[in-house]
Structure 1
Amino acid sequence: MNSAMEDRLREALAEAGATVDAGTLRPLRARERRRSRVDFRLVAVAAAVVLAGAATTVGLLSGPGDEDRAVAADPAPAERKMIVFLCAKSSDRDRTSCKGAATNEEKKEIAAKVKQMPGIREVSYEDQAAGYPDFRRDFAHNKALLAAVDAEDLPASFRLTFTKGTDPRRVQEALRGVPGILTVHEVTSDNATSAAKWDVSVFLCAPSSGMPSCGAERKSDGKGSFTVTKEGKGVTPAQMAAVQKLIASMPDAKEAVFESQEEAYENFRRLYKDNKTLIGATKVSDMPQSFRIKLAPDADWSKMVTRLRREPGVSQVVYHGCLLDSSRLAERYGLILPDSKVCSTDKRSGEHPDPGPSPTAG
């Protein structure tokens, strides 16, 4: 059973045609006695909550009077494109409808179907080997990720280009449930998220949290889902003050602010001002409280993240570079990987403290 928040977001995102993954923001997971599974459609909401922050209250290092800055959404591209990712051998059978790699017959049927759809100007096919050089170029900065993913881990795909005025949502809906298709993503720009002011977000525990870091207890079924058997507790004023004091003492923290639920919601509304469906599905109470940190040049983000994750009252600490990589990985290459592979806090090249499962397409 899903939470009311999950239900509202799932319905809104299905209508809006968004492609996001709620798993990147764990405070939005289900609560007590409810099952939770990573939803491949739900990274934009998480990315928006994490990257849209631009609070002006409680300046920890920067002093009063800071200018309020928010990330603005990029205008829609003149030429809209979509990627149809095909089932791969590594596709998770528990989290997707895939039963193995797409067969040649399924590929032919998918190609014929998309070519017959009105509004599609161009269709091209990209196999696993063709996409791998682009993958290595896009993630050249992330040696841990390059070490974790081989060409055979990437799903093959069809690349669609729409004629002007075509509604991508109708194409998405027409392809839903077609055998051999892993997922469908509309290609979007990530210039707004990459220009975010803050480098690290420290999310605080919410009341009735389902996060183990907040004291919750969960039981896994071994197939990507879990049940919260005991709810965690929200952050206390003393814990919040301790986190603030710790951040202020860190030499790698160049600037930091506190963002309330109300401020997070207003920034969220500004970022998605044109997506009334998504805004209507989200409430102030859905937003987490957080501290936002700007790192000093050449700062060791992994050391900071590791230390803050141990602090009582902290639900999750997110380095924005990792979140952006996760979003790009899902949108451009159809892969969802564990944090230990996308962005390990072990700075040694290609080494991971927790290897985790093998790469999963979707």
Structure 2
Amino acid sequence: MLNDRAVYDDDQRIFRQSVRRFVANEIAPNFERWEAEGIVDRELWHRAGQSGILCAQAPEEYGGTGDFRYNAVVIEECSYAGFAGPTGNFTAHSDVSCGYLIDYGSEEIRKTWLPRMVSGEAVCSIAMSEPAAGSDLRGLRTRAVRDGDDYLVSGQKTFISNGQHCDIAVVVARTGPDAGSRGMSLLLVETDRPGFSRGRNLVKLGHHSADTSEMFFDNVRVPATNLLGEEGGAMAAMMSELPQERLIIAVASIAAAQKAFDITVDYVRQRRAFGTAIGDMQNTRFALADLKADLCVGWAFVDQCLAELVRGTLATDRASMAKLWVTEMQGRVVDRCVQFFGGYGFMREYEICRLYADARVQRIYGGTNEIMREIISRSL
């Protein structure tokens, strides 16, 4: 299902082959080591930049293509290969953080950082979540207090993808303590500034090779020129950018679900029980037929949404539907596939086990699926 879809043109199909080679040559040989170490090598970012797979949607003058479909190709190929950790690394950098610099950064910020993000010289993270504020940012406690031409940023962030490697972070901070959702702003914070520190690299159920960290800000002095957009404009900016983030989660989920399905079909054709291949049993055939139907429907809707995103018409509720339905479907697919592997499906050395563990967070980040249901219900 990854090839020959109408949403892509010949340029993206050629690019897909390049990404597939990169995944095979640069990620696959190192992946198990990265999973054990809980972080990818910093060199991966330089290699990815050299291969042209970072921040492809950046305008051409900054080194990109200006077309988000190239981003989607990268995520599909990494996810289908079963490499959720690097997928998460690239997504936080290219598919989420980059958009804030493109759409809300000053020309100086864009000229300074976008070419370095495209090349892999600089890694970016987005720092939203806090111990008391996840999907609901009203509990946000990180503050940015104006001090002359600077802001002083203080607070704590958690669950931050690329937290160990990042050179810059898009930080959501409260600049108006009594202004509610209009009192939050976005600041680009360089991580070499005094007062910034990284916490531990968090140990997770899945996505082991994607570094996920705590961050601490102790009166970090940030120039006011690092403001992304207007003061107090963080919520509006996030509402504008989140549909893209949620769609790319759906893209990653459906590619990973397809991989789980494909390796399960191969397995049941070889595994025998009671004198026959379990793939020939009616229960197996009917269950896999249901999963195939789910996948085909999912791919069709994801491609519709991707085409809408490229045209600039993707609505918030449709992005939320894609994220909700596809991630829930991924959970069903991997759970059923593990069952067909029997006891081997519970062994970490089997890929289906890792796919099962990696799938769980898809229903949580980018806004939990309960939040997706709330957003969709408002459009009824």
State TM-score, norm by structure 2.
Answer: 0.28
State TM-score, norm by structure 1.
Answer: 0.29
* Structure ranking higher on relative contact order (CA contacts 8 Å, 6+ apart): 1
From the two aligned structures, give the one with the greater helix fraction. Answer: 2
